Structures are given as C-alpha cells and as structure tokens.
Amino acid sequence: MVPHSHSYEASTSSREPNARRAGVRSPPEPPSTFTCRGGRRYHGDESTYYFLPCDVQELSRQSLFHEVQREVYGGYHCAEFPDDGIPNKVLEIGCGTAIWSASVADSFAARGRPGVQFVGLDIVPVHPDMHGVNFTFVQHSFQNLPLPFPDGEFDYVICRELSMVTPVSDIYGSQIADCVRVLKPGGTLELQCSDYSIRSLQRTTVPFTPGSGAYTMTPATQFSMSAENPFVTAWNERITRALTKYQLSPVPCTLAGPQLLMEEGLTSVQSKRVALPLDEIWWENSKNSDDPRRKRTSIESTSTVDSKNRKNSLSVHRRSSTSVASNQSQSLQSPLSGEEKAVRDLARLTFAQLVESLEPILREANNIAMDDWDRWYKDMMVNFFQHGGLQGGECVEFGSWWGQKASKE
C-alpha cells in the first residue's frame, strides 16, 4: 500500500448541485503513483499485494460490475435508510472510480437529501472529477491502521470488494473494528463482496428474482461439488492457487458474515446472499426434459474469438446472446426476460474480463507460458460466448452484510 496519505481535506471535488458525471475516463497520473507491466498500468508500491490493473480497461470492468451488483442487490446498498434517516457523512473504503459514491449521491438527492458528504479511500487516485458530488478523496491503505479519521466521524461506512487486498489473517477482522471506531453510535457498517471461485447451482424450485435473474441463497440452496465447465474448473484451480499463495481468499463470502457477527461493537446484523448464473441454466425451463448441453459443438472445432466478445456494450451482448441461442437448437422459449438475460450477459462479460485482468498473477502462480495462456483464453471466450458453455448453472455468488454500531449507554 502507499505508505503516506493525502491530508483529509485534500482532493475535494466540485459541489455544484445536480450536475451529471461522465463515464470512466483516463484517471490522473501523479508521478511514481503508477507503474507499467506487460502493457497494463498498476499501482506503484511493490510492497502491496494488489493484482488488478489500474488502467481504463480494468476501471471500465469495475464500473460494469457495479451495475451487476446494483441489479442483484436491488440497489446500491442493502442497508435501509428511511427518508428521515439518510446519513449525513459516508465513507466508501476502496472507492476506485467512486462510481458507488456518485450513484448513491444521486439516489439520496432524489429522495430530498442533496449534498450528503462522501469520502472515498483508496491506495491510488483513479476517480474522475466528481462534479455535482460533495466528495473528498483520501489516499491511504486499508491495511494501514488506524484509518486516518477520528472516532465517530461517519454515519455510514461501506467496504466493497476488498478481498483482493485483505489477507485471510486480517480479512474483516481488525479492519472491521476500525471501521466501527470511525462510525458514530447508531451508524451503519456494510460489507459487500463476491466469491472468485465459481460453483454450479443445482436444480431448485426457488424462483429467481424478477428483473435480475439471480437466485436468493438460503440454507437449502445446493451447489455441485465441482464446476462442470472445464474452463471454470481450470479457473477455480488457478485463482485458488494464486490467491492462497498471498494469503488471500477465493471465497470471501464465507468469511465476511461470521466475522461481522463476531464484532462486539455491532448490533442488528443482517445479510443478503444471492447467486447469479452466468447464462441461462438448462433446467430453468421446466418443459425442457433434455439437457441441451449434449447438443453443443465440441470446443475442438472453435475458431478465432471475434473481437466483439470483448466490447463493453450491453446492447452488443443482448444481440449476441440472441444469435448464440438460435445456434444452440434451443427451440423452447426462454423463461428469462430480456432484462434478465442482459444482466447475466453482463455478468459473464465482466467475469471473462476479470480473468484477463488477472492474467499476470495467474500465469506466474501456475507457471503458464504465454502461448498456452493465449490458447486457453481464446478457447474459453469461444466456449462462453459462442457455444453456451455456462449453461450448467455456473454462478457468481454475492454477499452483503450490514449492522449498526451500538449506541453509548
């Protein structure tokens, strides 16, 4: 992590009300903050384990994944705030592009509370100009405790997707305690994360959530012991080997909830777990008694991946999925709406992009030659986007946990 931080008052953005913010743009590049490796840009402190790039390509993926999270959670946050209880000051830890702060600022403003103060903390500044948001950026490592804020500073603290920077020995442990410290009594702490290891959802009678196509997970939800898709199996093995080498967890959702429940300073802890399939599952249409996976073309006959598979356009993938479905002999009508298909298409795209972003650490930890990696990645893309290879129930699992800081007696 970057060993020093900006002062708490630094990097404050414009406070013009109701101004619209642009999409992902090239972030600022202070000297020595970033370094280039293999054509991708990374943060410049080699003492810090953070394996995702800090370039526009990765930031675009994260912004798309932000939209997937909004769909599966049913909003930008799972903690509920009544109109008369909207927080005055919010801390987003691991803010990245700060798209979450911008989105929630709009949401709060639409409910009659413009001007809520947002503070974003991260190891590098990659956020664009936050016009219209009362936003302050603080450059600081989440592993460098205590956080650079006084006790009781915030009404709401949210930590999103931090497992890539938090070792298993620390994950949601001492960090949680310090998050609670900077909360006001009665303030809310929320953790959101998703698992890197992919499991396959087994046949269930529980309906998926309309609009998102995701399944709410319950104690009765069952997954297969191993993934059916050979590319997902290889991914699971490789990401597990890479992350555990650096004491990081491929399944942070299994750790976050129990740790939050053990935090003595929190009360009324609640949670939401969902599983989002990466494609339509063969058993979702109850009228289809045959497994359409048996009709797929072998990946040995695949051709070169079309560059359209890598575009960040949801509309492109809506049209692509329609074309793919017609080529897979799926004669029965899909149980998914167009919007639900689009969410799953977007999740599949961001998963494939995540694999690409993690190429350096995956190749290094698994001793994979460049030619072998390129061949495997090409075949994976064809399997995922042209041959319907993720119709076996392969899911990304999401989890959100939130609770309130105990009030002083």
Buried b vs exposed e over 250-268: b needs ≥16 C-beta within 10 Å?
bbbbebbbebbeebebbee
pLDDT at 39: 83
Q: Which CB contacts under 8 angstroms, 24+ apart, belong to 288-295?
A: 288/332, 292/328, 292/329, 292/330, 292/388, 292/391, 293/388, 293/391, 293/392, 295/328, 295/329
Give the per-residue pLDDT at 170. Answer: 60
Q: Which pTM was predicted?
A: 0.82
CATH superfamily, with its number, for domain 34-195+248-273+400-405: Vaccinia Virus protein VP39 (3.40.50.150)
* Burial class of residue 106 (count of CB atoms within 10 Å of its CB; 0-12, 13-18, 19+): middle
Q: How far apart are CA 165 and CA 288, in angstroms?
A: 43
Reported as type and span, the H/E element at residue 160 is strand 154-160
What is the reported pLDDT for 3?
33
pLDDT of residue 300: 33
The enclosing H or E element of 244 equals: helix 230-245
The phi and psi torsions of 119 (rounded to 5 degrees) equal -120, 125
Residues 128, 24: contact at Cβ < 8 Å? yes
d(CA 64, CA 346): 7
Residue 268: which region, alpha, beta or left (left: phi > 0; alpha: psi -120 to 50)?
A: left
pLDDT score of 171: 55
Amino acid at site 237: E
DSSP run (H or E) holding 185: strand 183-194
pLDDT given for residue 146 in this prediction: 94
Amino acid at 355: V
Domain boundaries, the chain: 34-195+248-273+400-405
Amino acid present at 397: E
Query: Positive or negative, the Cα torsion across 144, 150, 151, 154?
Result: negative
Q: For residues 342-357, b (16+ Cβ closer than 10 Å) or e, as one string?
A: bbbbbbbbbbbbbbbb
Distance from first CA to last CA of the chain, Å, rounded?
37
* pLDDT < 70: residue spans in the chain: 1-32, 47, 168-173, 286-333, 409
